[in-house]
Amino acid sequence: MGSDETIVIIASAFGVVFTYWFFLAKKDKAVEASDSIDIVVEGGYAPEVIAIPKGKKITLNFLRTDPTACLEDVVLGDFNIRRHLPLNEKVAVELTPKHSGEFVYTCGMGMYHGKIIVK
Amino acid sequence: MGQTKKTFSVKGMHCASCVVMIERSLKKVDGVSSATVNLATEKATVTYDPLKVSDEKLSSAVSNVGYQAIVNEEIRTEDEEKEEKEKELRDLRRKVAVSLIFGALLLWGSFPWLIDTAPAALKDFWVQLLLAIPVQFWAGYGFYRATISALRHRTANMDTLVAIGTTVAFGYSAFVTVFPQLVMKIGIEPMPYYDTATVIIGLILLGRYFEAKAKAGTSEAIKKLIGLQAKTARVLRNPEGKPASYEAGGKEMDIPISDVIIGDILRVRPGEKIPVDGILVEGESSVDESMLTGESIPVDKIVGDTIVGATMNKTGTFTFKATKVGADTMLAQIIKLVQEAQGSKAPIQRLADLISSYFVPIVLMLAILTFAVWYVFGPAPVLLYALLNTVAVLIIACPCAMGLATPTAIMVGTGKGAEHGVLIKDAESLEIAHKLNTIIFDKTGTLTKGKPEVTDILPFGLIDRNELLRLAGSIEKGSEHSLAEAIVAAAEAQQLVLAKVEKFQAIPGHGVEGIVENKRIIFGNKRLMDKESIDVRKAESEIGNMENNGKTVMMIGVEHKLVGIIAVADVIKESAKEGLVALQKLGIETVMITGDNKRTANAIGQKLGITRILAEVLPGEKEAEVRKIQSEGKVVGMVGDGINDAPALAAANVGIAMGSGTDVAIEAADITLINKDLRSVAAAVVLSKKTMRTIRLNLFWAFGYNVLLIPVAMGALYPLFGLLLNPILASIAMATSSISVVANSLLLKRKKIV
Number of structural domains (chain B) is 5
Angstrom distance (rounded) from CA B644 to CA B628: 19
Annotation marks residue B195 as catalytic: no
pLDDT-derived band at B75, boundaries 50, 70, 90:
very low
Which chain B residues touch A83 with a CB distance below 8 Å? Answer: 343
Q: Do A12 and B1 touch (CB under 8 A)?
A: no
Is the Cβ of B210 closer than 8 Å to some Cβ of chain A?
A: no
Cα–Cα distances in angstroms (integers) from residue B251 to residues B235, B239, B722, in the given order: 8, 8, 85
Do B217 and B89 share a structural domain?
A: yes
Q: Do B72 and A87 touch (CB under 8 A)?
A: no
- Cα distance from A118 to chain B (closest Cα, Å)? 18
In a domain, B713, yes or no: no
- Cα distance from A36 to chain B (closest Cα, Å)? 12
Domain boundary among B74, B92, B118: B74
Q: Average pLDDT in the B276-295 region?
A: 87
Q: Do B372 and A108 touch (CB under 8 A)?
A: no
Query: Which pLDDT does position B91 carry in this prediction?
Result: 92
> 3-state SS of chain B: helix, strand, coil percent to 5?
55, 20, 30
Under a CB-based contact definition with an 8 Å cutoff, are residues B665 and B682 in contact?
no
Q: What single-letter amino acid sits at B172?
A: Y
Query: Which pLDDT does position B743 carry in this prediction?
Result: 92
Do B179 and B275 share a structural domain?
A: no
Q: Do B154 and A16 touch (CB under 8 A)?
A: no
SS3 B239: coil
- pLDDT at position B175 over 80: yes
Angular region, B587: left φ>0, alpha ψ -120 to 50, beta rest: left
Q: Is the peptide bond before B180 cis (omega within 30 degrees of 0)?
A: no
- pLDDT at position B473 over 50: yes
- Cα distance from A116 to chain B (closest Cα, Å)? 15
Q: Which of A15, A70, A106 sits opposite B353 (nearest CB)?
A: A106
- Cα B396 from chain centre: 33
Q: Do A12 and B6 touch (CB under 8 A)?
A: no
Q: Which of B75, B149, B360 to mutate to test the interface with A (most CBs of A within 10 A)?
A: B149
- Cα distance from A69 to chain B (closest Cα, Å)? 8
Q: Do B365 and A16 touch (CB under 8 A)?
A: yes
| Helix residue ranges per DSSP H, B437-517 | 465-476, 482-493
Q: Do A111 and B157 touch (CB under 8 A)?
A: yes
Which chain B residues touch A110 with a CB distance below 8 Å? Answer: 349, 352-353, 356-357, 402-403, 407
Interior angle at CA B106, CA B105 and CA B111, nearest 5: 110
Is the Cβ of B35 closer than 8 Å to some Cβ of chain A?
A: no
| A·B CB contacts under 8 A | 150
Is the Cβ of B400 closer than 8 Å to some Cβ of chain A?
A: yes
Query: Which pLDDT does position A34 carry in this prediction?
Result: 81
Q: What is the CATH number of the domain that holds B648?
A: 3.40.50.1000
Identify the closest residue of chain A to B4 by CA–CA distance.
A88
Q: What is the CATH number of the domain that holds B50?
A: 3.30.70.100
Strands B318-324 and B277-283: antiparallel
Task: Dump pLDDT digits (tens) for B698-709.
Answer: 999 998 898 999
Q: What single-letter amino acid sits at B390?
A: T
- pLDDT at position B514 over 80: yes
In a domain, B353, yes or no: no
Under a CB-based contact definition with an 8 Å cutoff, are residues B559 and B598 in contact?
no
Which chain B residues touch A42 with a CB distance below 8 Å? Answer: 149
Query: Which pLDDT does position B40 carry in this prediction?
Result: 60
Which chain A residues touch B146 with a CB distance below 8 Å? Answer: 43, 66, 68, 70
- pLDDT at position B280 over 70: yes
Q: What single-letter amino acid sits at B367?
A: A
In a domain, B351, yes or no: no
Task: Dump pLDDT digits (tens) for A10-19.
Answer: 999 999 999 9
Which chain A residues touch B81 with a CB distance below 8 Å? Answer: 86
Do B469 and B532 share a structural domain?
A: yes
Query: Which pLDDT does position B679 carry in this prediction?
Result: 92
Of the candidates B159, B442, B641, B670, the residue annotated as catalytic is: B442
- Cα distance from A95 to chain B (closest Cα, Å)? 12
Cα–Cα distances in angstroms (integers) from residue A100 to residues B486, B494, B510, in the given order: 49, 61, 43
Q: What single-letter amino acid sits at B711?
A: P
Domain boundary among B526, B544, B571: B571
- pLDDT at position A71 over 80: yes
Which chain B residues touch A45 with a CB distance below 8 Å? Answer: 153
SS3 B32: strand
* The dihedral sign for the CA sequence A54, A55, A61, A66: positive
Report DSSP state, residue A70: G
DSSP per residue, B340-391: HHHHS--TTHHHHHHHHHHHHHHHHHHHHHHHHHHHHHSPSSHHHHHHHHHH
Angstrom distance (rounded) from CA B50 to CA B27: 14
Closest CA to B128 of B185, B186, B197: B197
Q: Do A19 and B146 touch (CB under 8 A)?
A: no
B 329-388: CB under 8 A from A: 339-345, 349, 352-353, 356-358, 360-361, 364-365, 368-369, 371-372, 375-376
- pLDDT at position A8 over 60: yes
> 3-state SS of chain A: helix, strand, coil percent to 5?
25, 40, 35
In a domain, B163, yes or no: yes
Q: Do A19 and B368 touch (CB under 8 A)?
A: yes
Which chain B residues touch A9 with a CB distance below 8 Å? Answer: 372, 376
- For chain B, the average pLDDT equals 87
Tell me which H or E stretch contains B440.
strand B438-442
Q: Do A16 and B369 touch (CB under 8 A)?
A: yes
Do B237 and B214 share a structural domain?
A: no
Do B122 and B183 share a structural domain?
A: yes
- pLDDT at position B188 over 90: no
Do B195 and B110 share a structural domain?
A: yes
Is the Cβ of B14 closer than 8 Å to some Cβ of chain A?
A: no
Under a CB-based contact definition with an 8 Å cutoff, are residues B417 and B686 in contact?
no
* Domain range for B289: 232-326
B65 vs B470, which has greater pLDDT? Answer: B470
Q: Average pLDDT in the B735-739 region?
A: 87
Q: Average pLDDT in the B371-385 region?
A: 92
In a domain, B735, yes or no: no
Q: What is the CATH number of the domain that holds B477?
A: 3.40.1110.10
Under a CB-based contact definition with an 8 Å cutoff, are residues B501 and B517 in contact?
no
Cα torsion at B637, B639, B640, B645 (round to 10°)? -10
- Cα distance from B361 to chain A (closest Cα, Å)? 6
Angstrom distance (rounded) from CA B524 to CA B519: 16
Cα–Cα distances in angstroms (integers) from residue B497 to residues B243, B454, B458, B554, in the given order: 37, 18, 19, 21
Query: Which pLDDT does position B15 carry in this prediction?
Result: 66
Closest CA to B600 of B564, B665, B658, B548: B548
The CB density around residue B280, as the number of other CB atoms within 10 Å, is 20
Which chain B residues touch A104 with a CB distance below 8 Å? Answer: 353
Residue-range domains of chain A with CATH:
31-118 (2.60.40.420)
Lowest mean pLDDT: which of A25-34, B387-396, B649-658?
A: A25-34
Do B581 and B444 share a structural domain?
A: yes
Largest CA distance in chain A: 64
Interior angle at CA B733, CA B138 and CA B399, nearest 5: 75
Q: Average pLDDT in the B601-626 region?
A: 89
Query: Which pLDDT does position B574 carry in this prediction?
Result: 85
- Cα distance from A100 to chain B (closest Cα, Å)? 18
Is the Cβ of B77 closer than 8 Å to some Cβ of chain A?
A: no
Q: Is B189 exposed, middle or buried (0-12, 13-18, 19+ CB in 10 A)?
A: exposed
Q: Which of B126-130, B358-362, B493-497 has the highest mean pLDDT?
A: B126-130
Cα–Cα distances in angstroms (integers) from residue B516 to residues B64, B473, B507, in the given order: 66, 11, 17
Question: Strand pairing partners for B69?
Answer: B10
Task: Dump pLDDT digits (tens) for B530-566.
Answer: 888 888 888 888 888 888 887 888 999 998 889 999 9
Query: Which pLDDT does position B668 carry in this prediction?
Result: 78
Q: Do A44 and B153 touch (CB under 8 A)?
A: yes
pLDDT-derived band at B78, boundaries 50, 70, 90:
low
Closest CA to B166 of B199, B142, B190, B134: B199
Which chain B residues touch A86 with a CB distance below 8 Å? Answer: 76, 81, 84
B 143-202: CB under 8 A from A: 145-146, 148-159
DSSP per residue, B46-95: EEE-TTT--HHHHHHHHHHTT-EEETTS----HHHHHHHHHHHHHHHHHH
Is the Cβ of B407 closer than 8 Å to some Cβ of chain A?
A: yes
Do B186 and B93 share a structural domain?
A: yes
pTM score? 0.77
- pLDDT at position B126 over 80: yes
- Cα distance from B70 to chain A (closest Cα, Å)? 15
Which chain B residues touch A78 with a CB distance below 8 Å? Answer: 345
Closest CA to A82 of B340, B354, B72: B340
SS3 B403: helix
Q: Do B156 and A23 touch (CB under 8 A)?
A: yes
Q: Do B50 and A63 touch (CB under 8 A)?
A: yes
Question: Phi then psi for B48, rounded to 5 degrees?
Answer: -155, 170
Identify the closest residue of chain B to A74 by CA–CA distance.
B343
Which chain B residues touch A79 with a CB distance below 8 Å? Answer: 343
Do B311 and B282 share a structural domain?
A: yes
What percent of chain B is predicted at pLDDT more than 70?
96
Contacts of B751 (CB under 8 A, 6+ apart): B416, B690
Q: Average pLDDT in the B28-54 region?
A: 80
Do B625 and B553 share a structural domain?
A: no
Q: Average pLDDT in the B349-372 region?
A: 88
Angstrom distance (rounded) from CA A42 to CA A63: 9
Q: Average pLDDT in the B308-330 region?
A: 89
In a domain, B394, yes or no: no
Do B567 and B606 share a structural domain?
A: no
In a domain, B130, yes or no: yes
SS3 B593: strand
Angstrom distance (rounded) from CA A88 to CA B2: 7
Is the Cβ of B72 closer than 8 Å to some Cβ of chain A?
A: yes
- Cα B589 from chain centre: 27
Query: Which pLDDT does position B343 carry in this prediction?
Result: 79
Tell me which H or E stretch contains B163.
helix B158-178
Q: What is the CATH number of the domain that holds B274?
A: 2.70.150.10
Domain boundary among B296, B326, B356: B326
Q: Is the peptide bond before B381 cis (omega within 30 degrees of 0)?
A: yes
Task: Dump pLDDT digits (tens) for B387-400.
Answer: 999 999 999 988 88
SS3 B113: coil
Identify the closest residue of chain B to A6 by CA–CA distance.
B376
Which chain B residues touch A8 with a CB distance below 8 Å? Answer: 371-372, 375-376
Task: Dump pLDDT digits (tens) for B210-241.
Answer: 888 887 788 888 888 888 888 889 999 888 87
Identify the closest residue of chain B to A1 by CA–CA distance.
B376
DSSP per residue, B514-554: EEETTEEEEEE-HHHHHHTT---GGGHHHHHHHHHTT-EEE
Lowest mean pLDDT: which of B118-127, B212-221, B683-692?
A: B212-221
Do B242 and B97 share a structural domain?
A: no
Query: Which pLDDT does position B446 carry in this prediction?
Result: 87
Q: Average pLDDT in the B686-693 region?
A: 96
In a domain, B236, yes or no: yes
Query: Which pLDDT does position B190 carry in this prediction?
Result: 87
